[in-house]
Every structure is written in C-alpha cells, then in structure tokens.
Amino acid sequence: MSNINSFIGTGVALVTPFLESGAIDYISFEKLIEHVIHGGVDYLVPLGSTGEASTISPEEQQQILHFVVKTVASRKPIVAGCFGGNNTKALLQKIKGFDLTGIDALLSASPAYNKPSQEGIFQHFKMINDHSTRPVIMYNVPGRTSSNVEAKTSIRIANECKQIFAIKEASGNLNQIRSIIEGVSDEFLVISGDDPTALETVRMGGKGVISVIGNVYPNKFTSIIRNGLNGMFDQAELVNKKLDPIHEWLYIDGNPTGIKAALNIEGICNEFVRLPLVPMQKDNLDMLASKMV
C-alpha cells in the first residue's frame, strides 16, 4: 500500500455519476476525478455510501474500480469503499473475489441492521483484519448503521488488528472522537467522516477527513484540513465558515442527493441518483444554490 502518511489530509468520497437511464456516466466520472485531483486532494474513495455502492451491483463495482484505477493512473492513492457488510462470511468472500489491482486500501463500514454487540463488532473486524488482502480503514457511521462503535471497541481494534490502520469516524460525537485519539498510537489514523466537525477533529489530533463536500470544493476543503494539520487554524476557520452554511442543504434530502445537485450546478455531473433515492425537492435545491460559494 501507499505509505500511511498518504492518508493524512483530505480524501474525497466520490459520487458515482449516472445517466438518466441509471447507467454509469463514465464521461462525467472522469471529469469528476480530474476535478478533485487538480483540486489537490490527497486520496480518492470511490464506492462508499456517497458513491451509492448499495445500489451498484458487484459487477458494476468491479468495473468502476478498474475505471478509477485506470483514470487516476497512480497519481493518488485509492481506497475502495464497497467492502462493508452485515454478513461477515459473504464480505470475506467478496474481498477474496475482487480484483484489487491498483487499490491501496479498503473502507469497511460497521455492520448495519443486525445491530451487533460491541464484541460482535470487534469479531467482525478481526475477521476482516485476518483475511483482507489490503490494509483497511474501519468506518463508524451510526446514522446509517443504527449501531455505534464505541471508543473502547475502536481502540481495541486499533491495538489488536494491525491490518486496520485507520478509522473513519462519522459519529459527529467529539467526546468519543477525542477518546479514540487519546487511546490509540500515532501509527493509527483517526479520520473524520463528518465534514461539519472535520476541522474540530483535526484540532483534537485527528489526521484528516474523508469528505463529501470535497467533490464540489476540493481545493477549499483541502486547504481547510491542510492548514489545520499545520496548526494554522485562523486561516482554516476563514474558509470553513464560508462553507459551513452549505452543509445543512447538502444533506436535507439525503446523501448523495445534495452533493450531486451541487455538482450539477457546477456543471461537473448530472443530479441523477438510483432509487430509493430521488433528486432534491425544488425549494431545497434553490436554498442550496443560494448558499454555494
């Protein structure tokens, strides 16, 4: 894999552009990839929840990974976001069966729907640790999974599962995030998965963000995180405050509905999403447009 330092900074959870028919829009996908690379981001994360991986078939996922690897052409590290799941055995088979050539790491969300105990969450990630062919970023996103990976569990995983080198923490719970940062070694990266609190996470010792808004504003959001990591919080706050009013409207009709609408406004890709997601309501879209900078 790339050096662990390659994942300090700003990663972008790429949307998957679609045509109105629902087919993958590879022309716009290439445009988006070039946009974020030229915007200075540190790494790319296709096929996460922002990439609508849950409505993309395994065959399409493999095609997308090949496309991203070919388009990025080794310019930035790539983290494949489609390796979470609530069936541990099936997930291990998926990891084994995918061609991960050119993929630097996997992003694996804590199991949704089953609502496992903390011990169950630990054992799930231990199995991933023991069988993954790539280093892993674990992903805590209680808003989607309906279960929280508690700080003590994250710290235990960090200490005992050496193939898992980072956590994407999207709980938005700054006390929990602080506890994880204080409880892990410097070799384990605590990465924000929540744009509105990303700078505060960095202020506490976090190592960056996997961002949604970075699809539209890669240069601005990268500058926020980079300045924060360099202790230049006054400069970081200036840009952060300009983007802050946008966050609410990006999520009001769901993610990636909002970020795709913003990308459409900027002429980078269409707003089309796959059911059960639908495009933004017009009133909300108008508010989003009015807040964009």
What does the chain look like in DSSP terms, one character per residue?
---GGGGSEEEEE----B-TTS-B-HHHHHHHHHHHHHTT-SEEETTSTTTTGGGS-HHHHHHHHHHHHHHHTTSS-BEE-----S-HHHHHHHHHHS--TT--EEEEEPPPSS---HHHHHHHHHHHHHH-SS-EEEEE-HHHHSS---HHHHHHHHHH-TTEEEEEE-S--HHHHHHHHHHS-TTSEEEE--GGGHHHHHHTT--EEEESGGGT-HHHHHHHHHHHHTT-HHHHHHHHHHHHHHHHHHHTT-TTHHHHHHHHHTTSS-----TT--PPPHHHHHHHHHH--
Whether 70 is catalytic is no
Q: Which domains does the chain have, with CATH numbers?
A: 4-242 (3.20.20.70)
Residue type present at position 205: G
- Please pick, among 43, 70, 152, 168, the residue that the annotation labels catalytic: 168
Q: Is the predicted pLDDT of residue 270 greater than 60, yes or no? A: yes
Residues 224-268: pLDDT tens digits? 999 999 999 999 999 999 999 999 999 999 999 999 999 999 999
Q: Is the predicted pLDDT of residue 174 greater than 50, yes or no? A: yes
Whether 115 is catalytic is no
Residues 2-39: pLDDT tens digits? 688 999 999 999 999 999 999 999 999 999 999 999 99
pLDDT of the residue at 68: 98
pLDDT of the residue at 3: 85
Average pLDDT over residues 106-114: 97
Average pLDDT over residues 135-152: 96
Residues 74-105: pLDDT tens digits? 999 999 999 999 999 999 999 999 999 999 99
- Please pick, among 31, 76, 115, 139, the residue that the annotation labels catalytic: 139
Q: Is the predicted pLDDT of residue 1 greater than 50, yes or no? A: no
Residues 186-232: pLDDT tens digits? 999 999 999 999 999 999 999 999 999 999 999 999 999 999 999 99
Burial of 198 (0-12, 13-18, 19+ CB in 10 A): buried
